[in-house]
């Protein structure tokens, strides 16, 4: 009996999550109501409130789930050298491609900027920590450099998503890696 309830609970949360993501593709979270989410999910409001306090709570739970999933996914890989950092970046981009609709919605201009910051923290933890550990850059400056590189990479990924993800994750990872390591000199040769 409890297995049936667990499946029903998972289904309800999935439908509510998918409904919110669909609504967020058209408008910001501030314009989304619980009533709209419930109508789209075909679930009554009391059921919604059994799981979430409001639309912001639902969004936070979705973001928490993605960040936790990203951490678990990237923890499966251990890369310590520069060429291995490229593979880590590729794994991160592959993850984003696998969850295209979710990232497309949560990283768009209507999305919550805190999610982008949280993605940047994950990227920093997995991609930049190894690069910075092997560099000779002053610790104070390394924070600025990593922020510059990661924010540029996130915006490059947002651009890639908005243009339909035509390049492979490997190609995007190589671009990020080249821009990060060689900057504008990449364009000159």
Domain ranges of the chain: 2-52, 60-188
- Residue 145's pLDDT is what? 77
Class of domain 2-52: mainly alpha
Please report the DSSP string for the chain in residue order. -HHHHHHHHHHHHHHHHHHHHHHHTTS-GGG--HHHHHHHHT--HHHHHHH-SSHHHHHHHHHHHHHHHHHHHHHT----SHHHHHHHHHHHHHHHHHTHHHHHHHTSTTS-HHHHHHHHHHHIIIIIHHHHHTS---HHHHHHHHHHHHHHHHHHHHHHHHTT--S-HHHHHHHHHHHHHHTTHHHH-
- Residue 92's pLDDT is what? 86
- Residue 113's pLDDT is what? 73
How far from 11 is each of 15, 42, 134, 153, CA to CA, in Å? 6, 12, 46, 34
Query: Whole-prediction pTM value?
Result: 0.77
- Residue 163's pLDDT is what? 92
- Residue 161's pLDDT is what? 92
Segments of the chain with pLDDT less than 70:
1-5, 77-84, 110-112, 127-140, 183-189
Q: Residue 168: which of 101, 108, 67, 98 has the closest Cα? A: 98
- Residue 112's pLDDT is what? 66
Task: Give tens-digit pLDDT for 134-182.
Answer: 556 666 677 777 788 888 888 999 999 999 999 999 999 999 888 877 7
């Amino acid at each position: 009996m409890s297995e049936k309830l667990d499946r029903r609970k998972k289904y309800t949360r999935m439908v509510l999550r998918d409904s919110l993501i669909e609504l967020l593709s058209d408008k910001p979270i501030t314009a989304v109501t619980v009533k709209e989410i419930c109508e789209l999910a075909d679930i009554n409001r009391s059921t919604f409130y059994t799981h979430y306090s409001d639309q912001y709570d639902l969004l936070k739970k979705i973001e928490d789930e993605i960040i936790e999933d990203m951490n678990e996914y990237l923890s499966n890989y251990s890369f310590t050298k520069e060429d291995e950092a490229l593979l880590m970046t590729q794994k991160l981009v592959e993850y984003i491609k696998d969850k295209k609709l979710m990232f497309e919605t949560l990283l768009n201009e209507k999305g919550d900027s805190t999610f982008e910051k949280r993605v940047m923290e994950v990227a920093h933890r997995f991609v930049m920590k190894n690069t910075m550990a092997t560099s000779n850059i002053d610790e104070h400056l390394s924070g600025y450099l990593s922020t510059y590189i990661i924010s540029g990479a996130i915006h490059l990924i947002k651009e890639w998503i908005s243009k339909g993800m035509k390049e492979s994750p490997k190609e995007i990872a190589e671009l990020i890696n080249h821009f990060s390591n060689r900057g504008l000199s990449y364009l000159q040769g």
